[in-house]
Amino acid sequence: MTDSAGPDETRRLIEELRERRLTVAVAESLTGGLLVAELIRIPGASHVVRGGVVAYATDLKSTLLGVDARLLATRGPVDPDVAVQMASGARNRLGREQPADWGLSTTGVAGPGAQDGHEAGTVFIGLASDGAESSHRLQLYGDRDAVRQQTVAAAIRILLDAVLATPSGEA
């Protein structure tokens, strides 16, 4: 994972979160647990990673993460708003007395074929914090494993950029 995420951006992310005393909670679909596995690869991750939910089936995005069932019914799981709601759901449901500082999510089509009118490699990464929510659309190429690995690397990079852009002590 370290090659595709740059010169170990995962380690840098975990260090930044630890330094700032921030936490992250993850919701995964197409990555199926790879993102949390990458985060906890780093020693000390237990101080900042609250956990993760693999909501691979569409209905679990609603029941476990609180994604609006009507949104899922009308747009399907490969959608920017679904990604944001997944990130927000993870943040809120995996916090302690309060939400995790950051929620991070992955949803999309790993392939090999299209799904619900979206071509393979269409991915949305959701990000949620107390101050903002956003989604990031990616169009990735390669086989199923490559798309999943690239998604994890992109999610790490997106969260690292967001943490670095936030003044210390805020999320």
Per-residue model confidence (pLDDT) at position 9: 97
Residue 21 burial (10 A CB sphere; 0-12, 13-18, 19+)? exposed
> In sequence order, which residues have a C-beta less than 8 Å from that of residue 57 and are 6 or more positions away?
none
Backbone angles phi, psi at 52, to 5 degrees: -150, 155
Q: How does pLDDT run across 2-53, given as a tens digit for each residue?
A: 344 556 999 999 999 999 999 999 999 999 999 999 999 999 999 999 999 9
Instruction: Count other Cβ atoms within 10 Å, centred on residue 63.
Output: 11
- Model confidence at 1, pLDDT cuts 50, 70, 90, reads very low
Q: Which residue has the higher pLDDT, 7 or 166?
A: 166
Per-residue model confidence (pLDDT) at position 171: 66
- Model confidence at 168, pLDDT cuts 50, 70, 90, reads confident
Are 100 and 25 in contact by the 8 Å Cβ rule? The answer is yes
Per-residue model confidence (pLDDT) at position 35: 98
Q: How does pLDDT run across 90-132, given as a tens digit for each residue?
A: 999 998 789 999 999 999 999 999 999 999 999 999 999 998 9
Q: What is the pTM of this model?
A: 0.94
Average pLDDT of the chain is 94
